Chain A
Amino acid sequence: MSSHTAHDEHHAHDDHHHGPEPGLMRWVYTTNHKDIGTLYMLFALLMFFVGGALAMGIRAELFQPGIQILEPELFNQFTTMHALIMVFGAVMPAWVGFANWQIPIMIGAPDMALPRMNNWSFWILPFAFTMLGMTFFIPGGAPAAGWTMYPPLVLQGGWNLAFMVFAVHLMGMSSIMGAINVIVTILNMRAPGMTLLRMPLFIWTWLITAFLLIAAMPVLAGAVTMLLTDRFFGTSFFNAAGGGDPVMFQHVFWFFGHPEVYIMILPAFGVVSQIIPTFARKPLFGYESMVYATASIAFLSFIVWAHHMFTVGMPLTGELFFMFTTMLIAVPTGVKVFNWVATMWRGAMTFETPMLFALAFVILFTIGGFSGLMLAIAPVDFQYHDTYFVVAHFHYVLVPGAVFALFAGAYYWLPKWTGHMYDEKLGQWHFWLSTISVNVLFFPQHFLGLAGMPRRIPDYAVQFADWNRISSLGGFAFGLSQLIFVYVVYKAIKGGEKATDRVWEGAHGLEWTLSSPPPYHSFNTPPKVTEAEAHS
């Protein structure tokens, strides 16, 4: 690739010289940001369905009280693997895929800064998830102690611990390399005139996300390495008998874990901040406050970790500190929500599928934010801790939060990526079915949690039967609805109405100045960016 770039400078006008290699090996050897972006997104979609299939198993078992289809051991493996696959296999790679496709064409760069490493960071992932997935077939089965991997329970399982730890190492390396690539690209490769405060908000949120990844993922790598040595090499980091402390794992894990939740949601903020101005036909309200709010959220994410563990027996000062810093996050988040609403205020709005998903994001993510605020209150958290209320909370921020933003972004940029308009009617069906079913799926879980149903159990008291049945029905409907999305994407790749370059009437930004689909190598001659264009 590097020799190509040098070459291209001389022949900036004949891009077609350097089209993709023919055949399957194109995808293995590719260093092209668009190819790698596509690979990431297709991989994430596959993992979304694998993780989703596990979720269907979980909801089927919880359809009624008693043990029907999943033995408790297998049920625990399902919940653990569902979380690991969705977090590390679906949401994170999907965002990296968006970053790969969008960052170069939104900042006017010819490609990512480190194309060879880019190829590597993607191709590590299939190996990581093969290693993780094959634990279902080894003696002792898959990891079953929850994705949080708390000792001592996680140390009492079978061999799967080693597989899980090495898989996490690989995922971590992949994410860190991806993050380094994103930062270097954004800092070094911007087109002339694209100053930092003229960057589209999606670029800003990804820049900050990448810093979170670099700071948080290595800490997780350290923590799981300690689990590995505790289990197989006789160390006692988390073993009280050897002078260690299992609670310490929770501190180290959540020091990674809380930034991790913002790694999954900050790019969603970015996408929504691109979409709402387009369909409200107004510039984003409060651009700079959005940037500062994102940075504040990122900073706060590193000092709130113990709100995940209010019940371990912290002193009152600790509970208060983590309670107040957690509540403080509501301030920059509120700034964002109000900015989105203000952007729409008196806008000439239309409601195409991307806008619908973005609007649902704003409303439903805010519901998830509010239940998070409830959980932040230390004294009441003692009641909510480890109940379905927590499950409802983090699924609201992750499914109608992060995943809906992924859908919004996918519909928004799909015509740009494929060159064809997607089927709007099917897109609307996908939206309405998903939005209704996701609420039927997760809203009743708030009630279950407040009534005291614990999480991570295959069986429950009969008093919880009704809401569980409703939740399961919503779950099946939500799962099936996602097949529509696959079909819409397939159809847009195959053909359909040609998309214009600008695609959306109100769209602004460099990516819309390229053809749809953009040439294999774009922006070999950097565009010039002016203040007026950047904030129109």
Chain B
Amino acid sequence: MSGDASNTGRRTDNRRSALRLAAVALAMFGFGWALIPLYDVICEITGLDGRTGVAQAASLPTQFDADRTVTVQFVANVNSALSWDFAPAVISMQVHPGKLYDTHYLARNRTAAAIVGRAVPNVAPNVAARYFNKTECFCFSEQSLAAGEQREMPVRFVVSRDLPPEVKVLTLSYTFYRAPENG
């Protein structure tokens, strides 16, 4: 047996195996990044982290469930990095599933400079999140308030008729953050 030949063969094998394993490591690095969109998709489908649904006004059902009433509560939070006042116009509403409702929040910039903020919505309980659909919301885009400016921020929403029957109370909360673009 020629030692050189068998050694060269083994070295080629080793190199091939090493490259394959390196490819696995690289694929796992990619998988780590793929977890980000995957997480979004899973949250979107299941409503797991309280993400609310978005609906087009035109596609909404015209009939509503007049026999059923659920309570929707409104909560407002402001991140400590943002010097705004922020509060719901009403604390709670009685709504019929399937019917479109309007309400608004009030936001005021306490500082002497224009600031861009961004509101992140959340619905509790989680199981109800995807049955809470907004057709219009100030959270869809960034909001800029001039120095000392106060503004009404509208929300138009509909609670889906498919809402599980055991859910009697829904809480919609917004947290206003300073948008990262402010630097």
Chain A's closest residue to B4 (CB) is A6
Binds B, one of A50-58, A235-243, A405-413: A235-243
Let me know if A530 is at the binding interface, CB within 8 A: no
Least CB distance from B171 to A in Å reads 13
Question: Across the interface, do A183 and B32 meet the contact criterion of CB distance under 8 Å?
Answer: no
Q: Which of A113, A180, A215, A255 contacts B22 (CB 8 A)?
A: A180
B7 adjacent to A234 (CB under 8 Å): no
Bound-state CA distance A535–B81 (Å) is: 66
Cβ contact within 8 Å between A219 and B29: yes
Inter-subunit contact B7/A6 (CB<8 Å): yes
Do B180 and A183 touch across chains, with their CB atoms under 8 A apart? no
B32 nearest in chain A by CB position: A222
Instruction: Provide the residues of chain B in CB contact with A237, threshold 8 Å.
Output: 36
The answer to whether residues A218 and B13 also contact, given A241-B180, A245-B39 and a CB cut-off of 8 A, is no
Is B179 touching A218 in the complex (CB atoms < 8 A)? no
B21: which of A189, A214, A217, A252 is its contact (CB, 8 Å)?
Answer: A214
Min CB gap A4→B, angstroms: 11
A513 within 8 Å of B by Cβ? no
B31-59: contact bitstring with A at CB < 8 Å (1 yes, 0 no)?
A: 11101100100010010110000000000
**Counting CB contacts under 8 A, is B175 at the interface?**
yes
Whether the pair A240, B120 counts as a contact (CB closer than 8 A) is: yes
Which residues of chain B in 48-98 are interfacial with respect to chain A, using CB atoms and an 8 Å cutoff?
48-49, 79
How far does the alpha carbon of A117 sit from the alpha carbon of B14 in the complex, in Å? Answer: 12
Which of B14, B36, B48 has a CB less than 8 Å from the CB of A113? B14
**Which one of B6, B29, B120, B175 contacts A221 once the chains associate, using CB atoms below 8 Å?**
B29
CA distance A164 to B159 in the complex (A): 46
What CA separation (Å) do A439 and B107 show in the bound complex? 57
Does residue A457 face the partner (Cβ distance < 8 Å to B)?
A: no
Residues of A within 8 A of B130 (CB): none
Name which residue of chain A comes closest to B175, CB basis. Answer: A240
Q: How far is the CA of A189 from the CA of B6 in the complex (A)?
A: 12
Q: Is B118 an interface residue, CB under 8 A from the partner?
A: yes
Contact of B25 among A114, A117, A180, A241 (CB under 8 A): A180
- Complex interface: chain A residues within 8 A of B11 (CB): 2
Interface size on A, residues (CB 8 A): 47
In angstroms, Cα B18 to Cα A188, docked, is: 11
Q: Which of chain A's residues have a CB closer than 8 A to the CB of B43?
A: 245
- Among A179, A181, A184, A243, the most chain B Cβ lie within 10 Å of the Cβ of A184
B26 neighbours in A (Cβ, 8 Å): 218
Task: Choose among A184, A214, A216, A220 the residue that contacts B17 (Cβ–Cβ < 8 A).
Answer: A184
In contact, B48 and A184 (Cβ under 8 angstroms): no
B24 beta carbon closer than 8 Å to chain A = yes
Q: Which residues does chain B contribute within 8 Å of A23, judged by CB atoms?
A: none
Asked if B178 CB lies within 8 Å of chain A CBs, one says yes
CA A241 to CA B115, docked complex, whole Å? 13
Contact B39 A117 (CB under 8 A): no
Identify A5's interface contact among B7, B46, B118, B177, CB under 8 A. Answer: B7
Which residues from chain B contact A222 at a C-beta distance below 8 Å?
Answer: 29, 31-33, 35
Residue A455 at the B interface, CB < 8 A? no
A residues 213-257 with Cβ under 8 Å of B?
A: 214-223, 226, 234, 236-237, 239-243, 245, 247-248, 251-252, 255-256
Residues 170-193 of A, flagged 1 when their CB comes within 8 A of B and 0 if not, give 000000100111011001110000
Question: A505 contacts which chain B residues (CB < 8 A)?
Answer: none
Bound CA span A9–B8, Å = 12
Determine if B25 and A214 form an interchain contact, defined as CB atoms under 8 angstroms apart. yes
Instruction: Say what secondary structure dominates the interface of chain A.
Output: helix
Q: How far is the CA of A247 from the CA of B36 in the complex (A)?
A: 11
| Chain A residues whose CB sits within 8 angstroms of the CB of B3 once the complex forms | 6, 9-10
B109-132 CB contacts (< 8 Å) to partner A: 118, 120, 126-127
Pick from B21, B24, B28: contact of A184, CB under 8 Å: B21
Which of chain A's residues have a CB closer than 8 A to the CB of B168? none
Chain B hits for A187, CB < 8 A: 17
Chain A residue with Cβ nearest B117: A241
Chain A residues whose CB sits within 8 angstroms of the CB of B180 once the complex forms? 234, 236, 239, 241-242
Verify A248–B17 contact, CB threshold 8 A.
no
Q: How far is the CA of A252 from the CA of B32 in the complex (A)?
A: 7
With the chains together, A318 CA to B46 CA distance in Å?
Answer: 12
Q: Tell me which residues from 1 to 37 in chain A have a Cβ below 8 Å from any Cβ of chain B.
A: 2, 5-6, 9-10
Q: How far is the CA of A6 from the CA of B177 in the complex (A)?
A: 65
Are B7 and A214 within 8 A (Cβ)? Answer: no
Known interface pairs A215-B28, A221-B29, A242-B180. Does A252 touch B17 (Cβ–Cβ under 8 Å)?
no
Chain B positions within 8 Å of A10 at CB level? 3
Complex contact B177–A180 (CB within 8 A): no
Of B4, B8, B10, B36, which contacts A248 at CB under 8 A?
B36
Nearest chain A CB to B8 CB, angstrom units:
8
Contact of B17 with A183 in the complex, beta carbons under 8 Å:
yes
Instruction: Determine the distance from Cα of A183 to Cα of B28 in the docked complex, in whole angstroms.
Output: 17
Could you tell me the distance in whole angstroms from the C-beta of A222 to the nearest C-beta in chain B?
3
Residues A188 and B179 in contact, CB atoms below 8 Å apart: no
Complex alpha-carbon distance, A106 and B87, angstroms: 70
Q: How many angstroms between the C-alpha atoms of A6 and B25 in the bound complex? A: 30
* Interface contact A218-B28, CB-CB below 8 Å: yes
CA distance A242 to B81 in the complex (A): 14
A216 to B43, CA, bound (A): 23
CA distance A341 to B23 in the complex (A): 41
Contact B36 A315 (CB under 8 A): no
Would you give 11 A-B contacts (Cβ < 8 Å), ordered by A? A6-B8, A9-B4, A10-B3, A187-B17, A214-B28, A216-B28, A218-B26, A237-B36, A241-B118, A243-B118, A248-B36
- The 8 A-B pairs of least Cβ separation, nearest first, read A222-B32, A9-B3, A241-B177, A218-B29, A219-B32, A218-B28, A113-B14, A180-B21
Interface residues of B (CB under 8 A from A): 3-4, 6-8, 10-11, 13-14, 17-18, 21-22, 24-26, 28-29, 31-33, 35-36, 39, 43, 46, 48-49, 79, 118, 120, 126-127, 175, 177-180
